[in-house]
Amino acid sequence: MGPAARLRLTVTGQGAAPASVGQTVLEAALDAGLQLPFGCQRAECGVCRIQAEAGLEAPGRLEALTLRAFGCPPGVRLACQARLAADATVRRLPSDS
């Protein structure tokens, strides 16, 4: 199997970076030196909530449960769990969102 397809992750207000299909938003951002808040990295704390319009795989079961528990509206994802499927633009959410 060849290398993962390359794409572009943009974090609003910070810039853009190359990323790979299947990589989490948090992994790609940290690899590129972009700042996203994070805590547990296990979809438990909700610190890494981001707003995303498109470019991500559908939420997995664990992420969906956590988002529901926090009462998050559509488009809100967890950077530690959200996996890239295409070019994506995300923005940080205030910690009280």
Give pLDDT tens digits for 26-78: 999 999 999 999 999 999 999 999 999 899 999 999 999 999 999 999 999 99
Q: For residue 59, give Cα distances in angstroms to 1, 42, 65, 76.
A: 25, 14, 9, 10
For the whole model, what pTM was predicted?
A: 0.91
Q: Which domains does the chain have, with CATH numbers?
A: 6-92 (3.10.20.30)
The encoded tokens of residue 8 equal 């572009």
Q: What is the pLDDT of residue 83?
A: 98
